[in-house]
Amino acid sequence: MALRATFTGWGKCVPPVKLTNADLEQLVNTDNEWIVERTGIHERGISHVETTDLAEVAARRALAAAGLETTDIDMLILATVTPEITCPSNACVLQERLGAVNAAAFDLNAACSGWIYGTATASSMITGGVAERVLLVGAEKLHWVMDYWDRATCILFGDGAGAAVLEPSENGDGVLGIDLGADGVAGRTMVFPTLGTRGRLSNVRDPFLHRLHFDGQAVFKIAVQGIEKSVRRAVDRAGLSLADVDAVIPHQANERIITAAGRRLGLDPDRVMLNIATHGNSAAASVPMALSDALDARMIQPGSIVVQTAFGGGVTWGSTVTRWGERVEPLGHCDLELPPCDETVFDLLASNRDFYAPLHTHSRAD
């Protein structure tokens, strides 16, 4: 049998503080009904800690599920579009925290598609003989670049982390098909202008620039079409048909996007994982958190054909098709929790509201 990379552990980390639709009604001119009907979101996590704190909890849970020590890992890939620091990489910060001294470590940015690009990278590293046990993490603190006066963007995104361990398999399980793609021309539909060196130093703290610039409707169309085509290509490359698919774990960007793409693919909605109601869109953390929830919900069984698919900033997209291995129950559990938070969600967002206030001349933005 061909050498493949198979998922042997998984875990997630959800911040304890939630931003509900009722909370948002107090911040911007919106209402619960609009948000639920247009997006499917009821609440989203707001992190009181840093990106790598979220990553560490998810990573330790994934390692425990795989029955591995941190020193067993020889590669650590951290997908994020909200790094807390650019050098050292977040992956290196996490490597130190874990004491994963045998692991090469690097960050990967493909925005919301980061998990799929990361899976493709981990799989290639394993089948290419470069690594044996890869820890893949998707972690985001997106609220740091959201303007909580802007109802068009702030209702969508949440913080969190998800992780998995991939190991070699020669019994037919593992990643069978991959599709990756990008369209830089469409990239201007979703931009964080200040998380790099572009422009003047003062831009870094300019509230107009330091926020998500976003054309929601354009992204919506790109997403529905992109997911459909990408899933078809990945399933085809796996030598399977859509009828063989047992579970689909899509990027949780908008329930309507997931439903529309699923309909185009002719997928049974019961096989499509949805957890956007409680997490919102958490970019690179979204698919691994949904994967963890799908395993907890027993949507995935030994031998299941699992499609993971995402699209996001760049514009990027990607899908993987995996024949799941025997492990659908964690081998072990990790008790690590985030430190408790004694602040309210409004406390956590207060500095954000102050920062963006100059852009909004009235008290409730629309």
Residues that bind ligand UT7 (CB under 6 A): 30, 34-35, 38-39, 112, 151-152, 155, 190, 216-217, 219-220, 223, 253-254, 281, 312
Q: How far is the CB of 148 from ligand UT7 (least distance, A)?
A: 12
- In the complex, the smallest distance separating the C-beta of residue 2 from ligand UT7, rounded to whole angstroms, is 33
From 251, 254, 279, 352, the catalytic residue: 251
Report CA dihedral (124, 167, 246, 284) to the nearest 10 degrees.
-60
Q: Closer CB to ligand UT7, residue 220 or residue 346?
A: 220
Q: In the complex, what is the shortest distance from the CB of residue 87 to ligand UT7, in angstroms, rounded to a whole number? A: 26
Of 148 and 324, which CB lies nearer to ligand UT7 in the complex structure?
148
Please identify, using beta-carbon distances, which residue of 223 and 273 lies nearer to ligand UT7: 223
Q: DSSP readout, 313-327?
A: TTTEEEEEEEE--S-
Among residues 152 and 328, whose Cβ is nearest to ligand UT7? 152
Q: Between β-strands 247-250 and 160-169, what pairing exists: parallel, antiparallel or unpaired?
A: unpaired
Distance from C-alpha of 229 to C-alpha of 188, rounded to nearest angstrom: 21
Nearest residue to ligand UT7, scored by beta-carbon proximity: 216
CA dihedral 94, 97, 101, 104 (to 10 degrees): 0
Q: Given the complex with ligand UT7, which of 217 and 351 has the nearer CB atom?
A: 217
- CA atoms within a 13 Å half-sphere pointing along the CA-CB vector of 340: 1
82 and 254 in contact (C-beta within 8 Å)? no
Two structure tokens written together for 66: 């795989």
How far apart CA 227 and CA 202 sit, in angstroms, is 38
Phi, psi of 229 (to 5 degrees): -65, -40
The full DSSP string for 160-206 is EEEEEEEEEE-SS-EEEEEEEEE-GGGGGGEE-TTSSS-S-GGGGG-
Structure tokens at 162: 């998800």
**191: Cα separation from own chain's centroid:** 17
Cα torsion 197, 311, 5, 139 to 10°: value is 50
Closest to ligand UT7 by CB, 151 vs 327, is: 151
Marked catalytic residue, from 13, 90, 92, 112: 112
* Shortest distance (Å) from residue 64 CB to ligand UT7: 29
C-alpha distances out from residue 7 to 137, 309, 343, Å: 13, 16, 37
Number of H helices, E strands in the chain: 11, 13
Minimum gap (Å) between residue 334 Cβ and ligand UT7:
29
In angstroms, give the least distance from the CB of 342 to ligand UT7: 29
21 annotated active-site: no
- Cβ proximity to ligand UT7, 268 vs 366, nearer residue: 366
Q: How far is the CB of 171 from ligand UT7 (least distance, A)?
A: 35
Specify the DSSP element, H or E, that contains 248: strand 247-250
32 given a catalytic annotation: no
Residue 341 catalytic? no
Q: Which two three-digit tokens encode residue 276?
A: 């956007």
Q: Could you give the residue numbers annotated as active site?
A: 112, 251, 281
